[in-house]
Chain A
Amino acid sequence: MTEDIDTEPTSNIRLAVNGTLYELEVPDRKLLSDVLRQDLELTGTHVGCEHGVCGACTVQLDGEPVRSCLMFAVTAQGHEITTVEGIGDDPENPSDVQQAFIDCHGLQCGFCTPGFVTTIDAYIDENPNPTAEEAREAVSGNLCRCTGYQNIVSAVCRAAELRAEGASQ
């Protein structure tokens, strides 16, 4: 308890988020979720448990869903990060997954939703035509306390439909 905490170690990092390259000086211990929210003001990424269980903070790292609360920002260098704003940040022009959530009443308070959107956005690339059972399995790593998941499961299937329609146009 005698060591001084005068200055904490920081690093200069280059972070690629939603197609933009940011140069930042951040404390080495600062979580990716906190850097996204506080330094880049991308507050769409939410923190629900800070221990990697709930999935609210899920972002895509090179297209794969990861928990941004379990990762230091400095370790995200060299990767492409996509947050919910990168999936779609225009309320007038939502992405296919976002539109599917609207169509199916897939959200209530909306706090867990960005983590579901980033997860499902990656999932339907992997499985473009999920059954209801597969859709349920796909979202079973994220917690939601409002919806009972039923309409989220429907939204996964609806999003797959919309993506297929989008691809065929």
Chain B
Amino acid sequence: MKKILLLAGTALALAAGTMTASAQEKLKACWVYVGPIGDFGYSYQHDQGRLQVEKELGDKVETAYLENVSEGPDAERAIERFAREGCKIVFTTSFGFMDPTIKVAKKYPDVKFEHATGFKKADNVAIYNARFYEGRYVIGQIAAKESKAGLAGYIVSFPIPEVVMGINAFMLGAQSVNPDFKVKIVWVNTWFDPGKEADAAKALFDQGADIIVQHTDSTAPLQIAEERGLKGFGQSSDMIKFAPKAQMTSIVDDWGPYYVKRVQAMLDGTWSSTDTWEGMKEGAVVLPPFANMSDETKKLAEETYAKIKSGEFHPFTGPIFDQAGAEKYPAGAVVPDGDLLGMLWYVKGVDDKLPQ
């Protein structure tokens, strides 16, 4: 019996040994996701980016990922595991992974790290994010054009600058079409919870909204819109399959080009710690084909999309007023990136108080 165990043990060790040996030639790139890759939203899109790296860089790279990693104490272990398993570059894709990433990066100076949506950098930690607000401005215009009630329901996750910036961009877009446009906001305190998101969507529709906007990652709100014959917008990925009659467009994060560029830089030995904030222009924010709307709305949306893409128009261009009506930015002024990244106040017309 002992002999058999010993044999089995050696066999296992050998199996593990050969696996690591064959991996040594390639560059290992690894991803840590906050949600399941099957969320068809945020984490799904990051994983699509990973798959694009595999496809484009082929046998020069090897990739791995951990999904559903809690933003609490588990995050540090997940990141450190990758650093120890020979990953040369680790992408940590959620805000809550910021401090664990910095902590692990200090311990492993030879490994490169990239953290999405945070603000702490280091010699071996780069940061990156996408200008989602550009898409939110366009969907604001569409909502104001298409809503009969003049009221949209907006499901949001957490009161952080990223999300507040999105609400403001949406309202600025909507007000450019209909200055009296209203929005009702529900905070669900989660990035991904189909049940909660569906309940929020139902409540907002019951209160008279006829268009639903979401800054959460599941397809549930759109599916409720589909059931009720109302309209909405997808989030992170193209959700048209889940709501063929309800999705007007979506704000798709396309991380692929960025990931390919960064992993390529690792292969070339040109990687450096950068701070990247890309938008429609670079193809990081993409709006899938406009559907389920009038031709007139479609025309307007396409025009705005093109203008933001070419850099002709910035959604946060003054005059911009705060909720009290005081002018924050004069006519023609563009809100600087630094202000956007710390934005914790609402523009005029948002009927909500930021949870404090």
The answer to whether A and B interact is no
